[in-house]
């Protein structure tokens, strides 16, 4: 139990930052000061090119970065679980079709596809969630399907069928609970990878420029002189937040060694 | 075997179709004038030129005919024309793809070799402190987005220590200069590939280790390294191949980001410039090329799988 402590504590910190940014942040993202200030007592990480306090920006950015990650994870999990359940339960042409679709989504290079979509649509956060979610369900579907195929002819399922329950009832009441333990680590991993994708897309300038996320901050630092001025305290805090956030979320899945192995290999 | 082969071929054909459809449909179904999407947003043209372009790009014809013309163009290597850079997209990509492939190829080679060998060792000796440390490092690195890893290495080794040049592929076109410029980008990408493969290989060896055959070999007195590298690794390597197909797109896009960070004149910087000015023909062309490469990588992995694991062909798993 003790090894869950650190990741959970980290997630709790990030969650607090996301829910109550106003309580922790010394300033709001709209307050302006002298630009390009070095760190001092008032501005712990200095100020950026528009004179905003970097520490406050990092705290306010938490909400969007986490929200996009978890929401796309949720979209992907719902789609993947439903498709996996149906494909594993049915053995006819439907299974073939669904698995074919899964394989195609698996082959398509995800980030270039999101990039071209985002370039056409200039997306806000909601669109990004939808696109990232719609492109990352394939691994979930595969894991769920293989698990369903394992338990499909188990005694308790046969019993339910003999009792005359409908397919829908059996899938959701009998099989879903068995599948659930593999879905949870998968959800965590999809969330982490969605956070990485979001950070990468924002770095390319493909997210809504009016909202702040960690990726947007790094992109600002990269494009607006953070590197030439050697302002490591500008891009390092958001970068560390991304890394620690992804690490904390992923390690929840990895700590459960058996689950992790199933998840990594499929 | 034939059944599997047929199924695979159908899937690859379907993927290619989806890729081509994406590139074909996007400019035509997005809200706005499709001409603007096909020439790029920043180009300012008069209505007459617009009408002329409309005919020349074939946008006044029925959709099926447009699709036929588009397919014919793609098959003959015509990926459209960039009105920003005044050059056919195919030649823009052709000029730079070599550098990107060099970056990806070298990193894949180093990353896979190192990742597989040390992953096998880490899995075999999983109780040792050093193995645990290496696993931890692997998890950490695989959680860092590749471009962030590039940024960190860039700021440390280029800005702080000045060990490597700031930008570009070479100052004088000889092999040493190129190696000096490419060293850090390759190291970044290789580190990333290494970390992923280390974790996969470790998990795979951990599962194989408890099978009967390694224990039998040990009972016969076969030395540990020979069991690991001669027997266990051949079986444990299969998940790496499965994963390669999935990872290829990810690694390739990682390379694009790393090129942007290090200002290497490859596909990544081409893409970055195209995103900023919304040069849609270049973006579509890039997506098409990368996606087709991903499909080819998948085919390659499938074939290799059959070579390494003869059971696939024989029993039809």
- Please name which of B109, B132, B91, B73 lies closest in space to residue B190, comparing C-alpha atoms: B109
CA distance B223 to chain A (A): 27
Whether A261 and B207 lie within 8 Å, measured CB to CB: yes
Quote the ipTM score. 0.81
Whether B147 and A247 lie within 8 Å, measured CB to CB: no
pLDDT at A266 over 50: no
Long-range contacts, stretch A252-256, CB < 8 angstroms, 24+ apart: A252/A4, A252/A7, A252/A8, A252/A11, A252/A185, A252/A188, A253/A184, A253/A185, A253/A186, A253/A188, A253/A189, A254/B139, A255/A3, A255/A4, A255/A7, A256/A185
- Tell me the residues of chain A between 100 and 119 that have a Cβ less than 8 Å away from chain B: 100, 103-104, 106-113, 115-117, 119
Question: Which DSSP state fits A4?
Answer: G
Question: Which DSSP state fits A37?
Answer: P
Question: Which DSSP state fits A210?
Answer: T
CA distance B136 to B196: 12
Q: How many contacts, defined by CB atoms under 8 Å, are there between A and B?
A: 133
What are the structural domains, with CATH classification, of chain A?
1-265 (1.10.3720.10)
Whether A108 and B19 lie within 8 Å, measured CB to CB: yes
Whether B207 has its CB under 8 Å from any CB of chain A: the answer is: yes
Nearest to B249 among A104, A110, A250 (CB): A110
Q: Identify the band that residue A73 occupies on the pLDDT scale cut at 50, 70 and 90.
A: very high
Residues of chain B found within 8 Å of residue A243, distances taken between Cβ atoms: 140, 143-144, 148
Nearest to B239 among A107, A242, A265 (CB): A265
In this predicted structure, what is the pLDDT of residue A45?
75
Whether A246 and B245 lie within 8 Å, measured CB to CB: no
Kindly report, residue by residue over A74-108, the tens digit of the pLDDT: 999 999 999 998 888 887 788 888 888 888 888 88
Q: Identify the band that residue B194 occupies on the pLDDT scale cut at 50, 70 and 90.
A: very high
In this predicted structure, what is the pLDDT of residue A256?
63
- Chain B residue closest in CA terms to A258: B203
Per-residue DSSP letters for chain B? -HHHHHHHHHHHHHHHHHHHHHHHHHHHHSSS-HHHHHH-TT----HHHHHHHHHHTTTTS-HHHHHHHHHHHHHTT---EETTTTEEHHHHHHHHHHHHHHHHHHHHHHHHHHHHHHHHHHHHTTTSHHHHHHHHHHHHHHHS-HHHHHHHHIIIIIIIS--S-SSSS-SSSSHHHHHHHHHHHHHHHHHHHHHHHHHHHHHHHHHHHTSHHHHHHHHHT--HHHIIIIIIHHHHTHHHHHHHHHHHHHHHHHHHHHHHHTT-TTHHHHHHHHHHTT-HHHHHHHHHHHHHHHHHHHHHHHHHHHHH-THHHHH--
Region A220-238 average pLDDT: 77
Kindly report, residue by residue over B47-102, the tens digit of the pLDDT: 777 777 777 776 777 777 777 877 887 777 777 777 777 788 888 888 888 888 88
Beta-carbon contacts of residue A123 (< 8 Å; ≥ 6 apart): A117, A131, A206, A207, A208
In this predicted structure, what is the pLDDT of residue A106?
83
Note the residue count of chain A.
266
- Beta strands B81-82; B87-88: pairing state: antiparallel
CA distance A214 to A199: 7
- Chain A residue closest in CA terms to B241: A265
Beta-carbon contacts of residue B188 (< 8 Å; ≥ 6 apart): B107, B146, B149, B150, B153, B258
Kindly report, residue by residue over B297-314, the tens digit of the pLDDT: 888 888 887 777 776 555
Name the pTM for this structure: 0.82
Q: Identify the band that residue A265 occupies on the pLDDT scale cut at 50, 70 and 90.
A: very low
Whether A265 and B206 lie within 8 Å, measured CB to CB: no
Region A236-256 average pLDDT: 82
Q: Tell me how far the alpha carbon of residue B29 is from its chain's centroid.
A: 28
- B71 vs B17, B74, B112, CA distance in Å? 10, 5, 36
User: How many Å from the N-terminal Cα to the C-terminal Cα in chain B?
Assistant: 9
Nearest to B294 among A107, A115, A243 (CB): A107
What CA dihedral angle connects B128, B131, B136 and B140, to 10 degrees?
Answer: 170
Average pLDDT of chain B is: 81
Nearest to B145 among A116, A199, A205 (CB): A199
CA distance B163 to A10: 35
pLDDT at B121 over 50: yes
In this predicted structure, what is the pLDDT of residue B317?
41
Give the residue, B13 or B37, on which the prediction is more confident.
B13
Q: Is B187 left (phi over 0), alpha (psi -120 to 50) or beta?
A: alpha
CA distance B124 to B232: 9
In this predicted structure, what is the pLDDT of residue A117?
83
In this predicted structure, what is the pLDDT of residue A71?
93
CA distance A258 to B171: 50
Question: Which DSSP state fits A3?
Answer: G
- Please name which of A82, A70, A101 lies closest in space to residue A193, comparing C-alpha atoms: A70
In this predicted structure, what is the pLDDT of residue A76?
93
- Tell me the residues of chain B between 139 and 198 that have a Cβ less than 8 Å away from chain A: 139-140, 143-145, 147-148, 151-152, 154-155, 159
- B35 vs B53, B83, B287, CA distance in Å? 7, 12, 19
Whether B257 and A227 lie within 8 Å, measured CB to CB: no
Whether A200 and B206 lie within 8 Å, measured CB to CB: no
Q: Other C-beta atoms within 10 Å of B85: how many?
A: 18
Q: Other C-beta atoms within 10 Å of A205: how many?
A: 18
Q: Other C-beta atoms within 10 Å of A91: how many?
A: 11
């Amino acid at each position: 139990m003790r090894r869950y402590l650190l990741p959970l504590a980290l997630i709790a910190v990030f969650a607090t930052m996301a829910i109550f940014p106003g309580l922790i942040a010394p300033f709001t993202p709209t307050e302006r000061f002298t630009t390009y200030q070095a760190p001092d007592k008032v501005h712990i990480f200095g100020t950026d090119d528009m004179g905003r306090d970097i520490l406050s920006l990092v705290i306010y950015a938490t909400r969007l970065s986490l929200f996009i990650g978890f929401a796309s994870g949720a979209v992907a999990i719902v789609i993947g679980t439903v498709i996996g359940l149906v494909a594993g339960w049915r053995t006819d042409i439907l299974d073939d079709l669904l698995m074919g679709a899964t394989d195609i989504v698996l082959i398509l290079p995800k980030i270039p596809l999101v990039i071209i979509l985002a370039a056409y649509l200039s997306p806000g956060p909601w669109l990004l969630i939808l696109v990232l979610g719609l492109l990352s369900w394939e691994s979930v579907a595969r894991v769920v399907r293989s698990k369903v195929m394992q338990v499909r002819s188990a005694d308790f399922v046969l019993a339910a069928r003999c009792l005359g329950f409908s397919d829908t009832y059996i899938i959701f009441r009998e099989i879903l609970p068995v599948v659930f333990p593999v879905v949870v680590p998968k959800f965590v991993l999809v969330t982490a990878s969605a956070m990485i994708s979001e950070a990468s897309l924002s770095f390319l300038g493909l997210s809504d420029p009016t909202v702040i996320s960690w990726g947007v901050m790094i992109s600002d630092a990269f494009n607006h002189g953070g590197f030439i001025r050697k302002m490591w305290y500008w891009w390092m805090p958001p970068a560390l937040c991304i890394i620690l956030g992804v690490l904390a979320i992923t390690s929840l899945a990895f700590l459960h060694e058996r689950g992790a192995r199933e998840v990594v290999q499929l | 075997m034939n059944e599997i082969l047929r199924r695979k071929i159908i899937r690859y054909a379907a993927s290619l179709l989806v890729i081509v459809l994406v590139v074909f449909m996007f400019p035509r179904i997005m809200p706005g004038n499709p001409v603007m999407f096909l020439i790029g947003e920043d180009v300012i043209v008069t209505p007459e030129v617009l009408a002329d372009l409309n005919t020349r790009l074939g946008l006044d014809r029925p959709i099926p005919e447009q699709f036929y013309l588009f397919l014919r163009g793609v098959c003959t290597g015509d990926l459209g024309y960039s009105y920003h850079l005044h050059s056919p997209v195919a030649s823009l990509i052709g000029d730079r793809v070599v550098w990107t492939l060099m970056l990806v190829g070298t990193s894949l080679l180093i990353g896979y070799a190192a990742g597989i060998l040390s992953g096998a060792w880490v899995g075999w000796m999983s109780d040792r402190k050093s193995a645990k440390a290496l696993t931890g490092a692997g998890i950490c690195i695989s959680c860092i987005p590749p471009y962030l890893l590039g940024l960190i290495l860039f700021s440390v080794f280029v800005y702080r220590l000045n060990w490597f040049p700031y930008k570009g592929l070479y100052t004088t076109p000889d092999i040493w200069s190129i190696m000096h410029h490419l060293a850090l980008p390759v190291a970044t990408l290789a580190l990333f590939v290494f970390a992923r493969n280390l974790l996969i290989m470790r998990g795979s060896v951990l599962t194989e280790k408890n099978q009967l055959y390694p224990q039998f070999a040990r009972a016969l007195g076969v030395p540990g390294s020979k069991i690991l590298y001669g027997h266990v690794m051949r079986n444990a390597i299969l998940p790496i191949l499965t994963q390669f197909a999935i990872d290829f797109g990810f690694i390739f896009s990682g390379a694009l980001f790393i090129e942007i960070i290090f200002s290497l004149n490859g596909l990544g910087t081409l893409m970055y410039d195209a995103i900023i000015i919304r040069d849609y023909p270049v973006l579509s062309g890039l997506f098409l090329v990368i996606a087709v490469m991903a499909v080819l990588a998948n085919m390659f992995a499938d074939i290799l799988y059959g070579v390494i694991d003869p059971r696939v062909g024989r029993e039809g798993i």
